[in-house]
Structure 1
Amino acid sequence: MSIYQHFREEERAFIDLVLEWKEDVLNQYSPKLTDFLDPREQQIVSAIIGTEGEVLVSFDGGSEQGERKRALLYPDYYEVGNEDFQLSYYELHYPSKFVTVEHPQVLGALMSLGLKRSKFGDVLVQDERIQLVIADEISSYVEANFTSVGKAKISLVKKDRTELLQVQSEFQEKTYTVSSMRLDVLLSTIYNLSRQKVQPFIGSGAVKVNFKTVEQPSFECKADDILSLRGFGRSKVISVEGKTKKDKWRVIVGKQQ
């Protein structure tokens, strides 16, 4: 039985990468640390590595409820500690009385420094406080170059892991009945929009499934998929309950509050 049959076609390249990481650990008999992975990538790594083989895996992004995390693949003899994940934590100081700084602006400013998204984890926002989790290997570069967000001048203050904001994303569950598991059908139902309005959003790159842009309205969604529609928020297909007597799908969806 092929391992690929459990995953989507477009996930094959990442699966091959995970298998390479596993092989590296087996051959070198030492741990392998990855960049930050999104929740879907973490699921794939967990499924491939499992919990009982010669190679094990742990994840850390600074806090238990963090979304983006680094993975550490390691031989079964190895004792894992927080320091193995090589994380740095910062808080942004900016003139909050005069300017507003929001999550997308922070992400944009970091990306404009030429950094890959996989080198930094969650951007934590609580009221006017903003914190970053980044990979140790880029910390010096970020400290030297991350000096503004838009027109706002900022400074970075190093933080300890214990000082991280505890920000939780809550999903409100609701059951929907849909004619199919197509992406445009689900988004139309979840966000109470017509399919004619949803389809241009999809075509223009405003929709992501499992943190990857999807531009095909006919894309087939599955349980555990995380959907996001720019400007409308995020939702998760928690489970597909089967078909009704009228041959429609009953799905339980969590909608982010």
Structure 2
Amino acid sequence: MDANVYQHFRSEERPFIDTVQDWIEQVNIQYAPVLTEFLDPRQAFILETLVRQESDLRFRLFGGYEAAERKRCLIFPEYYEPTQEDFEIELFNVHYPKKFAVLSHGKILGSLIGTGIKREFLGDIISDGENWQVFIAKEISHYIQLQLTKIGNVKARLEERSYVDILMPKDSWSDETTTVSSLRLDNVIATLFNISRQRAKQLVESEKVKVNWAVTQRPDFVLDLLDIVSIRGFGRLQIQDIEGTTKKGKIRLNLGLLRK
């Protein structure tokens, strides 16, 4: 790969860039589609950027439903016509005693990861406020069904469902526009949730903030396009567009915001 590609992304993203290049090479050599694991929006953006440099290749992203955050990608030659079945995603209801227990996204994810699988095999976890569903890679779904018997201290099991049974997620994102003095993590959090910079810094350092589903303790972490930030007790944000700077030198952002 052209080493100059790396300069457009973060240094910690280099291993993923190399993985994408391996997928591209595999498609070119075998002249057949390659299906990725579930990608977060930032990874999908990197993949799209690299695949678009290959004039003979195409790609399609799908996460089980239209508004999915985490998606699998099919990279394929020009001749290929992909179908929904090519993405090998299965939908499951989480069956649990609703009268006696309250579940959360974190509890469900933790229990699924606790079966010994990688996060990359799991898509979105959605809820209508009471019922919960999860999208899982087909190649690992039977194993998870057998292994998952509890979520926290609550008995639970996964029941396969058809795509026509997908829940209407309760959470709804709002689109907002704002300006920030910098893309530092603590600065963006402070601006969007109207708290002090010091409070935002404390949230990060106390491991209450995740960037693209990974905990970070770096207040000076510089955010970029399509990063998703989760702040415990406050909500989530996604940087959807970086429009440039104002006359006063501030950065203009378009964001998706989910306030708790």
TM-score normalised by length of structure 1: 0.90
Q: 1:221 to 1:158 in 2, by over 3 A?
A: closer
5+ residue gaps, structure 2:
none
8 A contact 1:65–1:167 mirrored in 2:
no
Match of 1:68 in 2: 70
C-alpha offsets along residues 51-75 of structure 1, whole Å, 9 cap, x if unaligned?
8722211122111111111111111
8 A contact 2:180–2:251 mirrored in 1:
yes
Correspondence 1:30 to 2:32 = yes
Match of 1:17 in 2: 19
Match of 1:198 in 2: 200
C-alpha offsets along residues 147-191 of structure 1, whole Å, 9 cap, x if unaligned?
111222123221112211232753323443433222211111111
C-alpha offsets along residues 213-255 of structure 1, whole Å, 9 cap, x if unaligned?
3322222233433222122111123344444454433434332
Correspondence 1:255 to 2:260 = no
8 A contact 1:53–1:76 mirrored in 2:
no
Match of 1:115 in 2: 117
Residue identity (%): 41
Any residues of structure 2 matched to 1:89-238 within 5 Å, and which?
89-167=91-169, 170-238=172-240
8 A contact 2:41–2:227 mirrored in 1:
no
SS at match of 1:202: helix
Q: 1:239 to 1:90 in 2, by over 3 A?
A: closer
Match of 1:82 in 2: 84
SS at match of 2:229: strand
Match of 1:45 in 2: 47
- Over the aligned positions, Cα root-mean-square deviation in angstroms equals 2.1
State the AA in 1 paired with 2:121. Answer: K
41-50 vs 158-167, which deviates more? 158-167
8 A contact 1:228–1:234 mirrored in 2:
yes
8 A contact 2:41–2:226 mirrored in 1:
no
239-248 vs 117-126, which deviates more? 239-248
TM-score normalised by length of structure 2: 0.89
8 A contact 1:172–1:255 mirrored in 2:
yes
